[in-house]
Amino acid sequence: MDRATVLTQTATADGIELSHAERNRTLLLLSGGHGVAHWYNGILSVLYPALTVSLGLSFSQVGLFDSSRGALAVLVSLAGGYLADVFGHRRLMLAFALASLGVCTFFLSFSTTFIVALLWLTIGGIGNSLWHPYALPVLNTLFAKRRGLAIALHDAGANSFHGIAPVAVGAMLSVWHWETVTRLHLWPGVIMGLFLLLLIPKVELGTTKKQTRHGYRSALGSGLFRNRQFLVASGVSGGLTMGRLGLFTFLPLFLAFELHLDSTFQGLYMGILTLSGALLSPLTGMLADRFGFRTVLMVAMLLGSIVIAALSVTRHGILLAAMIAFLGIALFSTRSLIMVYAMNVVPEELGGSSVGAVFSINRMFGILAPLLAGFMADIYGLRIVFYFLGGLVFVGMLLTFALRSEV
């Protein structure tokens, strides 16, 4: 029985049959919601320099922002995977995830100390961590024969908004103070959350709730944590995530304090980073469907590790823009491929848990990376950070040799 059949049976049991148009509408809404969720991540790249100046922060304190968000995300992603697989209520939880991002960003505007800013930035990461365990298994099941393309489009929504956000907010910061900008960000998450709550069809995946609860613990051990292919995929994802998170945190600082660029140029470069990944995500998904997930990941991560290290000796100009655009393709358009691979080497009823576990493992890897990079920057300067990040991505690439050529 294939995944599409399972979904149809479950939807019919709930009194709903998903038509082709409803499936495409679900893909569109989830991609848009994913975009809004990542808009909030995107604004951080240009908020960090503003917070650094306004609150008098060190580079290691800025690194702690992402490390603390990662620490909480480890727990939230695991819990979100369990809740998604056992209890469902996908529409409600997806709406809550987006609304919470808006609320926490609004309260960030009242921060006057490092501790208060740290609190709201950390809590704000809950929404992002809840999104993926609830959304990705739906698309993986709805589009069983085109899962690489479907989830790449979902990721393209995230990268598009993530790329536009720093450009837009960088321009806003040249006119308004950062407090005003963050207060305006209450509304995107709340409004998009209401759209999802009202417009997405009710879809629950896998077995019944009673069956899922009864066998969940046993399936979790054999299906995830003793599953060699899943663990290898998580390691690959961890290396990619550390490079990506490090770039988000320290590339804007490098642009501001080493290249002395204003917030407009900071936003432009950070926009190039994610928009390039957004534009190429569908193509990357199609290539993976055709040539294999391992091959595409291996090549992208190898070249990406080299280009990250080369950023340290590059100056403001066309070459820097081209290198950042390539990193967007290598580090952002490929991340959905790992999630597809992970979901398809575990039992279907653990779809949400597999996503939550990968994100938890990612964040476990990512907790130390920004903090260590921040200490390195304080001692040796910002340029050394890019050698460190490039090395992390290269180690992740080495693990791709242990992945299956097909899933």
Nearest to 101 by CA among 174, 157, 39: 39
pLDDT band at 13 (very low <50, low <70, confident <90, very high): very low
pLDDT score for 210:
45
As a whole number of Å, the end-to-end CA separation of the chain is 17
Whether 334 shows a pLDDT value over 60: the answer reads yes
Global confidence as pTM: 0.68
Nearest to 51 by CA among 187, 190, 169, 164: 169
Q: How far apart are CA 38 and CA 110, in angstroms?
A: 22
Return the DSSP state at 310: H
Q: Which of 177-181, 307-311, 346-350 has the lowest mean pLDDT?
A: 346-350
Whether 4 shows a pLDDT value over 50: the answer reads no
Average pLDDT over every residue of 307-318: 88
Return the DSSP state at 15: T
Structural domains in the chain? Answer: 3-402 (1.20.1250.20)
Instruction: Show Cβ contacts of residue 210 under 8 Å, excluding neighbours closer than 6 positions.
Output: none
Return the DSSP state at 174: T
Return the DSSP state at 350: G
pLDDT band at 324 (very low <50, low <70, confident <90, very high): very high
Q: Which of 89-103, 252-266, 271-285, 305-319 has the lowest mean pLDDT?
A: 271-285
| Other beta carbons less than 10 A from residue 131's beta carbon | 26
pLDDT band at 5 (very low <50, low <70, confident <90, very high): very low
Average pLDDT over every residue of 292-312: 91
